[in-house]
Structure 1
């Protein structure tokens, strides 16, 4: 079929629009990166925009030498990896059970899950539950309360229901138990949904700081976002003063810390992008 001029114009404008939107979304990160790699005199003069001037890695040499940041980074990696695994284990098993037509009361359970979209748990009851379970000032308080997500249950349930029932019947004939069916058939065929929900939860777990602010008291258990917030908001913190005493401007220091805290989760995304795109297309029309 011939491509009409109006259609080519639309495709060009559509591509141009998304290029502009992509640039606008990427520009703040490029600016922060440029500031962190620029010499202090150019930063103080306000001459740094999207490209570093007076390229230097001085700020990163000192940031990488801060034990507080490395310990907080290790805590964030721990709660992100383990918390995501716990989330996927609990959410996927519940979603699989709800996807089976012979599960009793599954409609009632689904209504209860949907209600959580409308009514969230208030802060005080949430805190009391975590406290009475003995998880206060432990990393479990940052992982267990979010072990099941309503959105994840609904998405993964839909994915499981899209798998042909004949495959499950073949598994039953071969003598697989219900858990064996889930582990050997349903889960491998649903990797896109696992990757999608795992990435969503991992990013949320990495960026979350309110839970740690409420439940964590020991500085040794602070995740990177709490330390980052403390160093950026509170310029009187010992860690901030230690670096500013080395003639590092606050803007350069803050930019370097932001890149330090953001880079790990950015590195993970390309490895899950293929599965993430498949999972994001869930519910689209298929031929």
Structure 2
């Protein structure tokens, strides 16, 4: 197909803008990486930009030796994995029920779900509910309140409605139960949508900060983002937790290393889910 001049101009401008946006997002991470690997003399003098000067590994030796940071990492991994599984279980089961034509009262339920897109529970009532049911100062307070949302229900409902009804009829003729149709046919054919929602929710749980700040009191239950704030903002990393010795690394170097420590793990997940993410975001918005 022959492309017109206007199409070529649009594609060039669009590509250039996207490249500039991508570079603007990557450069800060490269700068932090360079600072964390540089010598303290160059880091203090603000002479490090995008390439380390005076290569050293003292920052990461210190970070990897901080037990509190690893404990917070474990808490974050737990709430991310378990919270995402709970979210997918609730979202897919409810969406499947709303997508089936014989579900009683599904129109009313769907309208109630859509209401939550516009009206959200205020902070104080939400806190009182969490506190009254005994979830305060537990990790469940970070996972259960967001275990179901209207956005995920709508996306998965659209996916399930786009599946061929002949497959469901054939499965029923073969004696498959409704639960069997859901687990053996609907879910495997909706992998793209499930992966998309899993990525959205997992990133949200990994970056969970405000909910943990409100509900968590015990320091041992602090997720990574709360511990990151404590270390970076309050500069608690300046003292070795075991012996109280002042660390040789500068605050800027430690901040850079800790930020990368909390950011890189979730970035590693993206390449494995990228193809599902693109497909799910496209199909989920176009299917009727």
Q: TM-score range by the shorter chain?
A: over 0.9
Match of 1:265? Answer: 266
Alpha-carbon deviation of 1:126? 1.2
Match of 1:215? Answer: 215
Structure 1 residue 65 corresponds to structure 2 residue 73:
no
What is the CA deviation profile of residues 44-65 of structure 1, one whole-angstrom value per residue up to 9, with x for unaligned ones? 1111122222222210011000
Q: Distance in 1 between matches of 2:111 and 2:68?
A: 45
RMSD of aligned C-alpha atoms? 1.7
Q: Secondary structure at the match of 1:242?
A: coil
Alpha-carbon deviation of 1:2? 3.7
Match of 1:241? Answer: 239
Alpha-carbon deviation of 1:130? 1.3
Count of residue pairs brought into register by the alignment: 284
Q: Distance in 2 between matches of 1:29 and 1:223?
A: 22
Structure 1 residue 179 corresponds to structure 2 residue 179:
yes
Alpha-carbon deviation of 1:4? 4.5
Please list, as runs of the form range in 1=range in 2, the aligned pairs for 1:4-83 lying within 5 A after superposition. 4-83=4-83
Match of 1:92? Answer: 92
Alpha-carbon deviation of 1:205? 0.2
What is the CA deviation profile of residues 151-193 of structure 1, one whole-angstrom value per residue up to 9, with x for unaligned ones? 0001010111110111111111111111111100000000001
Q: Distance in 2 between matches of 1:254 and 1:106?
A: 50
- Residues 156, 284 of structure 2: 8 Å contact kept: no
Structure 1 residue 202 corresponds to structure 2 residue 202:
yes
56-65 or 30-39, which deviates more: 30-39
Match of 1:150? Answer: 150
**Cα 1:31–1:179 shift into 2, 3 Å:** same
Match of 1:231? Answer: 231
**Cα 1:110–1:131 shift into 2, 3 Å:** same
Give unmatched runs, 5+ long, in structure 2.
none
Q: Distance in 1 between matches of 2:121 and 2:155?
A: 21
Q: Distance in 2 between matches of 1:240 and 1:227?
A: 14
Alpha-carbon deviation of 1:150? 1.1
Q: Distance in 1 between matches of 2:69 and 2:122?
A: 32
Q: Distance in 2 between matches of 1:12 and 1:118?
A: 38
Q: Distance in 1 between matches of 2:282 and 2:99?
A: 19
